[in-house]
Structure 1
Amino acid sequence: MRVIEPPFNAEPESTAESAVEKPASARPRTVAALVALIRPLHSAKSLLLVPIALVDTGGWTLPALGRIGWAIAAFVLAGACVYVGNDIVDRHRDRLHPVKCHRPIAAGHVPVRVALVYLAFLLAVLCGVIGFGPGRPYWPVLAYLVLNVAYSRVLKHIPLIDVGAVALGFALRVIQGYLAIGERISGWLVVAVFSLSLLLVIGKRRQELVESGPAHRPALRGYSVELADHLLQLTCVLSAIAGLIYVRTEAPLGPYGQAAMLLSTPLALFALFRYLKVVLVDGGGGDPVRGLLRDRGIAATGVALAIVLGVTTVLARHPALAAEILR
């Protein structure tokens, strides 16, 4: 029997086809990995926190909305820079985490050199947004970047300081919103945002401690599940008190501040109780943004709270309408 062998340089048709198709299909995967690298879902932090300052302004004008939009863009870009930089620095630790090991750099989908070029591009765009934007102070954005550099190098390794540094980044977003529209900064609202952010970060740390222990994050060696539970209780109390004091004193609700506080109290408490249940009973809290958006109880309570505050704000700003409705 004679076996007829193929020519030496012959290549199977399927292999040749895959060689042609591979570069074409690799581009969409690379683009998708670069998009995932900046965590677009987490842009909700800036979309929700920066415009909070609009609550305290007397009227929503187009210039004010434009300045708020510019501030949101600056913080979205700053957050993207931070995510890319952190993933470059933490790629070795992320590979030890059951979830973070799938991040583009840790998983090898985006080479480190490509990520560095990507980071340089994002920083250039951010400089353009700040340089050519409305003439408003942008020091909270710059402070956010400096804070996160310090966090990546030092602060994230110090127990308790690490969670405070992350929560401070959320408060800086609110402050930037006030600076964008030129309004006086509400101290109690900033405290409420800071404490609520601290609550979410502690819940995330607790979940990391339960899932993977301190191997992924050295600062977790300074925590225990019991300590995290106590910190959650303390920050829950601070969040509720600061938020309700803001509604009663500094919120632009006029004579309806007390009514808004009374109506908001059960809603705020239920939302906090629900979050504690998610973290302590259901084992959630590892991804605060995704968890808050997906939990129906928290989402429904948030909508109800927004309706209460929205209605009382409208009544306070339009006395004639309030007199017509309440007569």
Structure 2
Amino acid sequence: MSDKPLVVDADGTLLRTDMLLECAWKGLGTDPQGTLRAIRHLPDRAAFKAALARIAPLRIDLLPVHEEIVALVEQAKAQGREVVLASASDRSLVDPLAQRFGFDRVFASDGGKNLKGAAKARALVDAYGEQGFDYAGNDASDMEIWRHADRAIVVGRAAGAVHKLDDPVRIAGGWSPRALIKALRPHQWVKNVLLFLPMIAAHAFHFDTFLRVCLGIVAFSAAASTIYIVNDLLDIEADRLHATKKRRPFAAGTVPIPVGMAACLLLAIVALGVGAALSWQMFGVVAFYMALSLAYSMRLKRLRWIDIATLASLYTLRVVAGAAASEVYASVFMLIFIFPIFLTLGCVKRMTELALAADDKPLPGRGYARGDRGDLLNMAVLGMVGALVIFFLYSWSDQARILYPDQWLLWVALLPIAAWLYRMIRLGYFGKQDYDPIVFALRDIRGIGYLLITLSLMFYAAGLWTEWYFRLVG
């Protein structure tokens, strides 16, 4: 049993995250201008870290940890060994972290000196001598310290450096592709079926049109996952305060922030590349969707009512994208009709979150509290009524008379539309659905029944059932 001090790195070793990157992303979310100004300190890494720590101080008590390292620290303390926290992060962050876990001594960057790699090794050798300490790290830069340590404790793969060490102690770490896929939220891609609406409304049931819409869905799915990652990185701290969102990969530390950033860049290239391959109009829609989503993640979602209007706009852009991808005309009536529907669903989303909230405090990162449920309900009902009125007015338009000769069936279709919207509002108000109403709607059997009845009535009004029947028997 060793009696030498146990020195532990913070970022990626004791913690399942990187405090510098956490500060940077939190700063972009809370003070983007100040964070961007801090970049001027970047050549001086220590000054840069100190500036970010001032701009975006972290909730140290919320940071995810490697339980194996915490247990190792507790074991060393029980053996009477000195436990030391040595980090390249700024001291203003490292000191409270050391207090949280009861470390005896701290080495950290201080705004003037960046304590990483060789600099950290010199500081530890000066304090404890050659081979006078055991060191736990996770990064290739820690190789400089391991060379002077008595025992190397390696968390994860350490970028291949572990193979250069003699008999290191290995502790599992790293991340899995499954966790990264979870961060992409593939279940949310189902919302992109909205791109089929213009094709269905125009009765453009052709294989090439279908294929183009499918490619549009690929572009929008990649774009959406890009923004989901950005949103999660900006909201890491707020997510850790949430009952269910705290299990998201970046909040829980199961996927490193640099991996998320790399995936984000790759997905953005795919989204814009596929969009450009379809048409420049589709490229423009994808780019605008990503820009608006980014604005929503960074600022707009914190503004009451503006956040709901933005959500409705983002859903509506999916329909616009369907028209751009398929090169099918989307009528103004369609866009005016679906916007209040999505406005209603945006209110449903917030009502659900408030109904499931643990207390009466404002939602983390949002501008609503439980007292706002009544106002949200009123807005949702107004959106429902507005959508039904617009649909009725559409039934009298020249385009509707051409596409739907049996006009009265469109009026009948108002009933299942109203029933579906009422169901969504009621379930959202009482917190009986998913946090995302679109995802819930595409899983809700009764709601899907209402939508299929609506679609069937509209197809019948258009004479499509008769046309398809004679094609089948002919």
TM-score by shorter chain over 0.5: yes
Q: 1:271 — aligned with what?
A: 420
2: CA distance between counterparts of 1:161 and 1:318?
45
Match of 1:225 among 373, 376, 390: 373
Deviation at 1:277, TM superposition (A): 2.4
- Quick one: distance in 2 between partners of 1:74 and 1:165? 20
SS at match of 1:276: helix
Matched, 1:204 2:353: no
Match of 1:254 among 396, 404, 428: 404
Q: Sort the Cα spacing of 1:135 and 1:147 in 2 relative to 1 into closer, same or farther, 3 A.
A: closer
Tell me the TM-score normalised to structure 2 length: 0.58
Question: 2: CA distance between counterparts of 1:185 and 1:300?
Answer: 25
CA distance 1:245–1:100, change in 2 (3 Å): farther
More strand by share: 2
Contact 1:56 1:183 in 2 (8 A): no
Q: Distance in 2 between matches of 1:316 and 1:246?
A: 22
- How far did residue 89 of structure 1 move? 0.7
Q: 1:305 aligns with which of 439, 449, 454?
A: 454
Amino acid at match of 2:179: A
**Deviations, residues 242-301 of structure 1 (Å, cap 9, x unaligned):** 334335534453321x22222202211211222222123464352313422333321211
- Aligned 8 A contact 2:459 2:465 in 1: no
Equivalent AA in structure 2 for residue 150 of structure 1: A
Q: Which has the higher contact order (CA 8 A, sep 6+)?
A: 1
Distance 2:395 2:170 in 1: 63
Equivalent pairs counted in the alignment come to 299
Pair 1:93–1:135, CA change in 2 (3 A): closer
User: 1-side partners of 2:235 and 2:469: how far apart?
Assistant: 58
**Equivalent AA in structure 2 for residue 109 of structure 1:** T
2:201 matched to 1:45?
no
Structure 1 pair 319/120, CA: closer, same or farther in 2 (3 Å)? closer
Selected match of 1:150 from 287, 295, 309: 295
Alignment deviations for residues 102-150 of structure 1 (CA, whole Å, 9 cap, x no partner): 1111111111111111111111222331343356542211110110121
Indicate conservation of the 8 Å contact 1:167/1:194, yes or no.
yes
Q: Which residue of 2 aligns with 1:111?
A: 256
> Normalising by structure 1, what TM-score?
0.81
**Contact (CA 8 Å) 2:405, 2:461: kept in 1 or not?**
no
Question: What's the secondary structure of 1:255's corresponding residue?
Answer: coil
State whether residues 247 and 261 of structure 1, in contact with CA within 8 Å, keep that contact through their aligned partners in structure 2: yes
Separation in 1 of the partners of 2:231 and 2:391?
Answer: 31
Do the aligned partners of 1:144 and 1:169 also contact (CA within 8 Å) in 2? yes
SS in 2 for 1:268: helix
Gap regions ≥5 residues in structure 1: 1-8, 10-18, 322-327
Whether the 8 Å CA contact 2:276–2:282 is kept in 1: the answer is no
Of Structure 1 and Structure 2, which has the larger fraction of its residues in helix?
1
CA distance in 2, matches of 1:320, 1:86: 48
CA distance in 2, matches of 1:161, 1:283: 25
Pick closer, same or farther for the CA change 1:281–1:206 going to 2, 3 Å: closer
Query: Where do residues 1-327 of structure 1 align in structure 2 (5 Å cutoff)?
Result: 30-46=176-192, 48-57=193-202, 59-134=204-279, 136-212=281-357, 213-220=361-368, 224-249=372-397, 250-251=399-400, 253-256=403-406, 258-281=407-430, 283-284=432-433, 286-315=435-464, 318=467
Q: Contact between 2:271 and 2:286, CA under 8 Å: does it hold in 1?
A: no
Aligned partner of residue 294 in structure 1, secondary structure: coil
- Once the 2 structures are TM-superposed, how far is the Cα of residue 174 of structure 1 from its aligned partner? 0.8
Check conservation: 1:159, 1:223, Cα contact below 8 A. Answer: no
Q: Residue type of the partner of 1:41?
A: H
Percent of aligned pairs sharing the same letter: 24
* C-alpha separation in 2, matches of 1:146 and 1:67: 23
Q: Distance in 2 between matches of 1:159 and 1:65?
A: 38
Distance 1:182 1:130, change over 3 A: closer
Once residues 203 and 449 of structure 2 are traced to their aligned partners in structure 1, the CA distance between those partners, rounded to angstroms, is 28
Asked if the contact 1:254–1:316 (Cα under 8 Å) also holds between the matched residues in 2, the reply is no
CA distance in 1, matches of 2:339, 2:186: 22
Cα RMSD of the aligned pairs, angstroms, is 2.9
The structure having more radius of gyration, on CA atoms, is 2
